[in-house]
Structure 1
Amino acid sequence: MAKVLVIAEHLDGQLNASTARTVSAAQALSPEAIDVAVLASEPDAVAAEAARIAGVSRVLTVANAANAHPVAQMLAPQVARLADGYSHVFLPSTTFGKDLAPCVAALLGVAQVSDLMAVESAHVFKRPIYAGNAVVTVEAPVDQAVVATIRTASWPEAAQGDAAPVEAASIEVELPTHTRFIGLAQAKSDRPDLQGAKRVVSGGRGVGSKENFEIIYKLADRLGAAVGASRAAVDAGYVPNELQVGQTGKIIAPELYVAIGISGAIQHLTGIKDAGTIVAINKDPDAAIFEIADIGLVGDLFALLPELEAAL
């Protein structure tokens, strides 16, 4: 019977929604138990949030000053020690999970399964390849622990349930001395986080300039949405690269995705395949974005967006 350990992602004392999506993937295994591990300097607040996720059997907290920042080289030895007795270790396929999972897999001496999007059985999974244009079935060895990152865009957030018990885990492990946290350079914004937002407004090359991108920010603020961009807009210097959506950017699954001035290159479409409702505004009626859009509007964005804002 499967027993799953989910590694919680959190920042500034708040649990990331990717954790609830990872729990959904764990539930697909119909496991004996799903435990969530919270590694932090002060894990209690995050642990209380994790305990309310439906399907969680218990929450394990690991309090250590070295866990104040999510540095994979510090967290991995602790996770590897915690993993003893578990058949599966699941992490979200976010920047956090992609950084940490390979280190954990290496310490456990197993191969990692990446971007798990469907569960066929306890050791058989589906994952996308070729920018999401094909799906491959992979089988992990049955005699080893499975360390996997979960494609969070493919899984819904697990519901809220009764609070699971929270237990402090005691881990004795030697942490490396060759890695130190120096600082975090992070853009500050009052808008929702792009990777977890329920609404996203993105701009592309058609917006024309960094100055013109203000029209995207204004619409996003009207909708209470996060802001994204195509790779073309990032490469042109309109916005910083942390806003890039697509194969080489962020893979997202908002309830509403508004693509403005985006042609719909396959690299970009890969990042929004699991979005709920896709709205596209583009002056080119043959733009590829219209092939996947639920709602498409052909026209000049600089004329249409002021009208849309006025209506809102």
Structure 2
Amino acid sequence: MDNRAGEMQVFLRVVEAGNFSEAARLLRMTPSTVSKLVSRIETRLGVRLIERSTRRLSLTAEGQIYYERSQALLQDLDEVERELAQGATTTGGTVRVNISVALGVLGLEPILPDFWRTYPNVTVDLSLSDEIVDLYLDRTDIAFRVGPLPDSGMVARRIGVARRKIVASPAYLEQHGIPRTVDDLARHNCLGFNFRRAAPVWPIKESGRIVDRAVKGSLLANNGETVRRMALAGVGLARMGDYHVRADLASGLLVEVLADVIASDEEQIHAVFLGGARMPQRVRVFLDFVVPRLQQFLDGSTPERDG
């Protein structure tokens, strides 16, 4: 049976005690058994970990590495067992989350009641914004981002894909006509965004390649939900993520147009956070709970809201 964790514990005790005899006494083992266990580790690794002398043991360079890594691994093991033994109710603290308005309202908010039933002591400090925040400056633990990720020292977990669709209300299309070609966009009211990363262009597929087609309209908003509501009100055309207008399309409140020219218009969605071994448990459990459920939402496998 593989008992490397037990061997690590013996090795740590030998290093901390300074000799085999004292380590054996603390472990309630014989000195020869302790010595054999350390020798077994050295044989398996093919390196000497401890320099033996009559006065005191000393670590080799390899022994120092093994000592530090073993200490960290056993601490992680203790933490896992302690968390499982104590239960989820012991996990607490505040998780600061930033997410776009639509994804937050439609995807994240319905998940939160179940999250709190599992982790009642975790407070979610939730900010809904379509602007990109700086995790350091805004003291944000997790940001859910739509679109390309800049190079950074942060960790990202992929959530899914947002496929953009051009939509309008039946009333708008009845009044202004259905756009049949890309050139028709020039005579339509194309609703847009005003945040910094937005541009007054829509990517369009022309002659097998994607080009940015300039559009203009009567609205520039800082979030997708405002644009959606104006589209529902018959104000103009809107370019929206499929998850955002899924229920509206199913109910007929919105209609997709020009589907053949934006077939490749999609953006990746990620959860971005500061990773590493020192990630707070409250952040870890939030990610582990929320990410797979958001993935299901984007795949269309969770219930939608009513129109």
After TM superposition, is the score higher than 0.5? no
Whose radius of gyration is greater, 1 or 2? Answer: 2
Q: So what's the TM-score if we normalise by structure 2?
A: 0.25
